[in-house]
Amino acid sequence: MLVGLTACGVTEDEAVRLKEGQTLSVPGVPLEGCGTLGCLYEGQVCMEVFFEYGRSPAVCVFTDVCERLECQTQKPGYKCTLFDGFPGQVKCIERDD
């Protein structure tokens, strides 16, 4: 469960939301904050998730997290994307692929 959110810097075009019935994590793996050395499970990355109500704290998610998210915007061409960094970012951008 996400404990705190910050409201800075999330636009409607960047915001993601969970698809119905989905969670940020996968069954059997708890959603945890990032440690100073990263994440415990192989395949996880440390990310801030850009929700419509603000950025999540840095949490450990698997790299397929966008399969469980959708873009808040109704504009065509926007897709959930992971951005490198520590923490990285999960947000929507306009893409041609």
Rounded-to-integer distance, Cα 34 and Cα 29, Å:
14
Residues recorded for the chain: 97
Tens-digit pLDDT profile for residues 12-66? 999 999 999 999 999 999 999 998 888 999 999 999 999 999 999 999 999 999 9
Which DSSP state fits 67?
G
**Helix, strand, or coil here: 5?**
coil
Give SS3 for 68: helix
Contacts of 12 (CB under 8 A, 6+ apart): 52, 72, 73
- For residue 68, which phi and psi values (nearest 5 degrees)? -105, 0
Query: Residue 5: pLDDT above 70?
Result: no
Q: State how beta strands 59-62 and 44-51 pair.
A: antiparallel
The better pLDDT of the pair 39, 5 is held by: 39
Cβ-Cβ contacts under 8 Å for 89 (sequence gap 6 or more): 47, 48, 49, 50, 82, 83
Whether the predicted pLDDT of 3 surpasses 90: no
